[in-house]
Chains A and B, each alone.
Chain A
Amino acid sequence: MTGKADDAGREPAPADHLPGLESRLFDIPETKFIEVVRLLERVRDHPDVRQTFAAIRPRLIQVRPGRRPTLKRVLCMPFEDVLESVGGVDVPPGRIERRVIDPAWRLVTECGDEALIDQLDRQVQEMAPGNLNALRNVGRRLWPMAAKAIRQATQEMVQGAVVLLQGDEELRRQVLDVAAFLEIGLTVEALKDALTPKPLPALDDHHVAAIEQAVQAVARQSTGAVHHLLLAAASRLATPADLLAVLNDMDFGKARREQPAIFARLGGLMVTNLEERTARLDGPGDGQGGGQGGGQGGGKSRAAAAIAPEDAVAIAERLVASVNTTSAVMDFVAEPLYRKRLESVTAAVRAMLAGAVLDSAPDGILTAVPAPAVSGRPVPVNENAQLAAEDHARALRRCEGLADVLDLQKPLRDAMASMERGLTARADALLAQYSKTTGIPGDAETAEINLFYALRLLELIAGPAKADRLRTAIMAATGEFAEDGE
């Protein structure tokens, strides 16, 4: 970090210095970044510092510095897993928007037990970062009080709440969700320990047992809170819909009677969540809202082109897994509307994949192979372009696993065949030019590496058996292994 940035770190208050700092905070070494974050945290309530934190959130997520604990952060612990992520397609089911945190916190501080808040705040300020048990001990006293304060303020619509919520019904609903999570805060925290690591790749028996135990504990408190507990559990899973598959075999204890209704509500939420995630494929500003994902190319396809092919396939794999699980378990509900909505999700994923991987393949793969130069001297392959082309080719191959469910067999077959033809033609052109480079050591080596890179792309697209014809031709042209070694 430069000396100037250091100065900015030590004196973070002047607002006009901060915008420049934000961009530099992405480039400085990790240790310096953590140091600056600690300094900024001392004045974190300043509006510009809050804006800086919002801007650097991607790096905060990546570096995860042990943040200085604050009482506001303790408040968020029970619902932190359902907070919407910054950017990306994945959204937890029943997500809470980050804009909800500040109004919820203000309702707690304005309508809650002031003496208790002051006392807990002092305790938190003396804590070391990462002391989870101590934070949970504070939460044990904070969460019930905060939940009560939020409920009273919103239900009775006291003056502060009216101003804060400003007739925003969605905000009001999410603030009440926050209260629901706070009421079961301790159980949620215990469940987090059982559902580790996040995201949990698969639900084992002991995970299911832990969820069942938590459901029963919460049901004793309030059957209405089971839904929120299950949202917290689902948000820790790599495929949240996996939870639906185990719900019917669970004993809900005191909420046994409500079990079908809870299942139906959660199932509906999963479908909505899938719609939200596919709507995000369009990018901000182009969202068509839940349930609209028509997947007719157009906007979705254009927006998809901005997603890296490998990321697109990974997103598609997750969404397809969720659709499969959801659709299998939603048969219980026998609600035709769900099936239709899930079909729309599938169509949206199909359009995204077609745009990001199939349609962009000629640009992404073929252009990495240099065309023969007019001068006859080979132009070295751009290795970054080769790297990207190889990633694209792998993504195309991975689409094979999704082709059946997304009805992409023919477009995929066509794209693969077109890539195979294109790569073979380009490699043949390079091979024809190769003879002109013999006798010029540097040129010959460059031409050979170009041929080998083209060979690799062909291997990734068409497999080794088909690529072997080109390999044999290259080896014959270079004469490298002309004499038998044994």
Chain B
Amino acid sequence: MLKGAIEYAPSTFEERGAAVAFTTPLLSQTRVRRGDRSKLEVLIPSLSQGLGIYVVAWRAVPDMVSMTMHDRYLHDLIVKEDACSPYEIRRATLKAARRGLAGPQAAQAARRVLEEDDEQGTLTHYLLILAILKAVGLESPEMLKAGIDTDEGQRLTRQLMTRAAESLRMDATLLYARLADVAAVAAPVGLARSPRTGRLARGLNDLKSFRDSMTAWAQDVPSDAGPVAEFCAAVAQHSIDIGDTVLGDFHRRIEAIGPLLRDWDDAFIRVRGQAARMAWLLDGWSHITGAWEVAQGEDRQQQAATVNDLFRILPLLPRREAGRDFVEDAKQVKVVHRRSVRMLEDWRMGRMDIDAIRRIESVKAFAP
């Protein structure tokens, strides 16, 4: 059941696992992955004592840790849906929050985000239709004027898409199927020309703000947590570098919608891979950037405590993704971290710490 603390140096994103937004402080942002014989297992970071990780069979977690009701529900949901990708975990997390189990504010935020996801899906679909029609020279002012959500607009769209399929030398049904696939992959990332930035592109922007804020904080605030903040900024920077490259390439490939639809087998696998890589790259960061935003309204001592808490759950890049050994670097920071961490908080002692739970729920309400 418990494999004991191990050195944590994953090679791939999948091995690192997807972060789960639990509200039990001990489990907050622990990672779930598929382990031996495809069984789910959870990676629990050690309690500020070092960088070791406890690997626990997913099913055994409730027996080992006293979990909040929210987490018991989310745990069962993840088992039921056999979820372990960032996308699946996020949907499960939003579903649990929407039920009210992380409080009314988190429930409202989850409802809003689920609606935004739906709207983003529709918008992406619409923009991709326009891009396909433009690619085959079938732009129609009448269609735009009628609007895609009217009967007339939909009739015109169907007509034009049938002609576009002919032009692309494929069946209209196949064109629609591919369009749906591209939209599903592109909606979370967002299109370059979309009036609304996609969730992952927004996450990358948030990460840039986080990097700047952490760097400034490390310079302005004399604190033991300064080197820890610098390290957080450095890890963020590395993720940003990779993210910018992946996002740029993804947008270029989606822009060339004609070749994408024609050379489907290779090209689609590539864009799908890039979208997945963006999701993995930013996985776990939204809680961190959100927690730091929430901490901006607090005093510097609380901010230093937040920096130390964030260090414990920092999404270090896997070895194959980074040119730098962050695990090794983190060990150097660990010494400073130990000096300034708040060791005697209730949650570190295994007790239910209602204030710590509330802090996590506030972040969930701010950045669901």
CB closest residue in chain B, given A388: B104
- Which of chain A's residues have a CB closer than 8 A to the CB of B301? 201
- Which of chain A's residues have a CB closer than 8 A to the CB of B46? none
**With A464-B352, A481-B76, A486-B59 given, is the CB distance from A453 to B100 under 8 Å?**
yes
| Contact indicator B39/A486 (Cβ below 8 Å) | yes
Query: Is A53 interfacial (CB-CB < 8 Å)?
Result: no
Query: Is B82 interfacial (CB-CB < 8 Å)?
Result: yes
| Contact indicator A387/B69 (Cβ below 8 Å) | no
- Which of chain B's residues have a CB closer than 8 A to the CB of A381? 100, 104
Question: For the complex, what is the distance from the CA of A453 to the CA of B40, rounded to whole Å?
Answer: 29
Query: Is A468 interfacial (CB-CB < 8 Å)?
Result: yes
- Which of chain B's residues have a CB closer than 8 A to the CB of A460? 354
Within the complex, the shortest CB–CB distance from A18 to chain B, in Å, comes to 32
- Which of chain A's residues have a CB closer than 8 A to the CB of B174? none
- Which of chain B's residues have a CB closer than 8 A to the CB of A448? 99
- Which of chain A's residues have a CB closer than 8 A to the CB of B79? 481, 484-486
| Contact indicator A383/B59 (Cβ below 8 Å) | no
Within the complex, the shortest CB–CB distance from A219 to chain B, in Å, comes to 30
Judged by DSSP, the binding face of B is helix
Give residues 32-88 of B contacting A (CB, 8 Å): 39-40, 59, 66-69, 72-73, 76-77, 79-82
Partner of A464, one of B40, B67, B82: B67
Query: Is A467 interfacial (CB-CB < 8 Å)?
Result: yes
| Contact indicator A452/B76 (Cβ below 8 Å) | no
Query: Is B107 interfacial (CB-CB < 8 Å)?
Result: yes
Query: Is A456 interfacial (CB-CB < 8 Å)?
Result: yes
| Contact indicator A452/B101 (Cβ below 8 Å) | yes
Query: Is B227 interfacial (CB-CB < 8 Å)?
Result: no
Interface code B345-356, partner A: CB below 8 Å = 1, 0 otherwise?
000000010110
Question: For the complex, what is the distance from the CA of A448 to the CA of B180, rounded to whole Å?
Answer: 33
- Which of chain B's residues have a CB closer than 8 A to the CB of A397? 354
Interface code B98-121, partner A: CB below 8 Å = 1, 0 otherwise?
011101110110000000000000
Give residues 450-475 of A contacting B (CB, 8 Å): 452-453, 455-456, 459-460, 463-465, 467-468, 471, 475
Judged by DSSP, the binding face of A is helix
**With A383-B107, A448-B99 given, is the CB distance from A464 to B80 under 8 Å?**
no
Within the complex, the shortest CB–CB distance from A195 to chain B, in Å, comes to 14
In the complex, which range does the number of interface residues on chain A fall in? 20 to 34
Within the complex, the shortest CB–CB distance from A323 to chain B, in Å, comes to 22
Question: For the complex, what is the distance from the CA of A383 to the CA of B77, rounded to whole Å?
Answer: 24
| Contact indicator A465/B80 (Cβ below 8 Å) | no
| Contact indicator A486/B40 (Cβ below 8 Å) | yes
Question: For the complex, what is the distance from the CA of A478 to the CA of B73, rounded to whole Å?
Answer: 13
- Which of chain A's residues have a CB closer than 8 A to the CB of B100? 381, 386, 449, 452-453, 456
Query: Is B312 interfacial (CB-CB < 8 Å)?
Result: no
Query: Is A483 interfacial (CB-CB < 8 Å)?
Result: yes
| Contact indicator A456/B103 (Cβ below 8 Å) | yes
Query: Is A66 interfacial (CB-CB < 8 Å)?
Result: no
Give residues 74-90 of A contacting B (CB, 8 Å): none
Query: Is A242 interfacial (CB-CB < 8 Å)?
Result: no
- Which of chain B's residues have a CB closer than 8 A to the CB of A464? 66-69, 72, 352
Query: Is A390 interfacial (CB-CB < 8 Å)?
Result: yes
CB closest residue in chain A, given B66: A464
**With A383-B108, A397-B354, A452-B100 given, is the CB distance from A481 to B69 under 8 Å?**
no
- Which of chain A's residues have a CB closer than 8 A to the CB of B101? 452, 455-456
Query: Is B358 interfacial (CB-CB < 8 Å)?
Result: yes
| Contact indicator A455/B69 (Cβ below 8 Å) | yes
Within the complex, the shortest CB–CB distance from A109 to chain B, in Å, comes to 38
- Which of chain A's residues have a CB closer than 8 A to the CB of B72? 464, 468, 471
| Contact indicator B300/A387 (Cβ below 8 Å) | no
Give residues 307-362 of B contacting A (CB, 8 Å): 352, 354-355, 358
Query: Is B299 interfacial (CB-CB < 8 Å)?
Result: yes
Query: Is A339 interfacial (CB-CB < 8 Å)?
Result: no
Partner of B103, one of A387, A468, A483, A485: A387
Within the complex, the shortest CB–CB distance from A296 to chain B, in Å, comes to 31
Question: For the complex, what is the distance from the CA of A394 to the CA of B67, rounded to whole Å?
Answer: 17
Question: For the complex, what is the distance from the CA of A398 to the CA of B358, rounded to whole Å?
Answer: 13
Query: Is A129 interfacial (CB-CB < 8 Å)?
Result: no
| Contact indicator B69/A483 (Cβ below 8 Å) | no
Residue pairs across A and B with Cβ atoms less than 8 A apart, 19 shown, are A197-B299, A383-B104, A390-B103, A390-B104, A397-B354, A448-B99, A449-B99, A452-B100, A453-B104, A455-B101, A456-B69, A456-B100, A456-B103, A459-B68, A463-B352, A464-B68, A464-B72, A471-B69, A485-B81
In the complex, given contacts A481-B80, A483-B80, A485-B80, what are 15 additional A-B residue pairs having Cβ atoms less than 8 angstroms apart? Answer: A197-B299, A381-B100, A449-B107, A452-B99, A452-B100, A452-B101, A455-B69, A460-B354, A464-B66, A468-B72, A471-B69, A481-B76, A485-B76, A485-B82, A486-B79
- Which 6 residue pairs spanning A and B have beta carbons closest together? A485-B80, A383-B104, A485-B79, A452-B100, A481-B76, A449-B100
By a beta-carbon cutoff of 8 Å, the part of chain A in contact with chain B is 197, 201, 381, 383-384, 386-387, 390, 394, 397-398, 448-449, 452-453, 455-456, 459-460, 463-465, 467-468, 471, 475, 481, 483-486
By a beta-carbon cutoff of 8 Å, the part of chain B in contact with chain A is 39-40, 59, 66-69, 72-73, 76-77, 79-82, 99-101, 103-105, 107-108, 299-301, 352, 354-355, 358
